[in-house]
Amino acid sequence: MRIHHLNCGTLCPASARFVVGTGGLFERARMVCHCLLIESSQGLVLVDTGLGTRDVQDAKGRLGQRFVARNAPRLDPAETALAQVERLGFRREDVRHIVPTHLDLDHVGGLVDFPDAQVHVFGDEHAAAMVPPGPKEKFGYKPVQWAHGPKWSRYAVDGERWFGFEAVRVIPGLDAEVLLVPLVGHTAGHCGVAVKGPGGWVLHAGDAYFNHREVDPVAPRSPWGTALFQRLKSVDNAARLANQERLRGLVRMHGNEVKVFSAHCAVEFDRHATQPLPGPGTLNPAPAVG
């Protein structure tokens, strides 16, 4: 099994020092939409999808003017998950499963690009996204991104223990070890996604935190603008902070066994994605399933 780290949407919000803690006050920050593409014998698995092809084509219509103005997304068709899947020599039909950390617009814009995939979420997240949004969810969930009718698989928060985390759900029907790890707070059913690859475990923590310094096990800190955004955006800030502390404990106690990263930190993405994607035809496509 191979795991590819993909950036499926570069974001360039204003004031790098305010957002990422380095660079100039008037310099634009660089953030990413860090996704995983997992090769399994039963097809491909995507963890998050970032911005999709339709989002790139009609950003203001699908993502909203406020998101576009605030984040200045690059809107590069080559960064979409579909383009990168095809660049690896696969077809869109080879993506059989999608596991979003949550259903915010910058994490599921590519759902429509893989209409045959099964989409695995916690039931609380699905329920929250399907009702009219409250103030904190208003600019996060975009129903247009699932208007095509995805094949949802919903799960209760229940399951086994994993490195001190309780109620971790195994995704059924996969030979790969892919786990839903409850990390609520940012949204009602937010989760991390743990994957066991050739080099051990990785944990995609989604928006449980935004900057690599936040999970420093000795001296955690956050850029003040990012800290303010997280506090204001969270549906349960106390739960979010508690889960950040749990993640720091995981890094402290098991950092040699589990590599933890978040969805938008470019520093973490660069650590994992050290090699460019191969060009077309350089890998053998996964066999079609079914």
pLDDT at res. 280 = 42
Among the listed residues 134, 105, 109, the one whose alpha carbon sits nearest the alpha carbon of residue 236: 134
**Distance from CA of residue 120 to its chain's centroid?**
13
pLDDT at res. 96 = 97
What's the CA gap between 1 and 175, in Å, rounded? 10
pLDDT at res. 42 = 85
pLDDT at res. 5 = 97
- Residues paired with 95 in a beta bridge: 44
Structure tokens at 249: 């404990």
β-strands 2-7, 34-40 pairing: antiparallel
- Amino acid code (one letter) for 289: V
pLDDT at res. 277 = 54
Environment class of residue 58 by beta-carbon count within 10 Å: exposed (0-12), middle (13-18) or buried (19+)? exposed
pLDDT along the chain (290 residues), means of 10: 95 95 92 97 95 98 95 98 97 97 98 98 96 72 96 94 92 88 97 94 98 96 95 95 97 96 98 65 34
Asked if 208 and 242 touch (Cβ cutoff 8 Å), the reply is: no
pLDDT at res. 137 = 62
Among the listed residues 149, 165, 147, the one whose alpha carbon sits nearest the alpha carbon of residue 157: 165
| Ranges of each domain in the chain | 2-272
What's the CA gap between 26 and 154, in Å, rounded? 43
pLDDT at res. 1 = 80
pLDDT at res. 172 = 87
Asked if 153 and 79 touch (Cβ cutoff 8 Å), the reply is: no
* Three-class DSSP labels, the chain: CEEEEEECCCECCCCHHHHCCCCCCCCCCCECCEEEEEEECCEEEEECCECCHHHHHCHHHHHCHHHHHHHCCCCCHHHCHHHHHHHCCCCHHHEEEEECCCCCHHHHCCHHHCCCCEEEEEHHHHHHHHCCCCCCCCCCCCHHHHCCCCEEEEECCCCEEECCEEEEEECCCCCCCEEEEECCCCCCCCEEEEEEECCEEEEECCCCCCCHHHHCCCCCCCCHHHHHHHHHHCCCHHHHHHHHHHHHHHHHHHCCCEEEECCCEHHHHHHHCCCCCCCCCCCCCCCCCC
What's the CA gap between 169 and 231, in Å, rounded? 27
User: Which CATH fold would you assign to the domain 2-272?
Assistant: Metallo-beta-lactamase; Chain A (3.60.15)
Residue 147 sits at φ, ψ, to 5 deg, of -65, -20
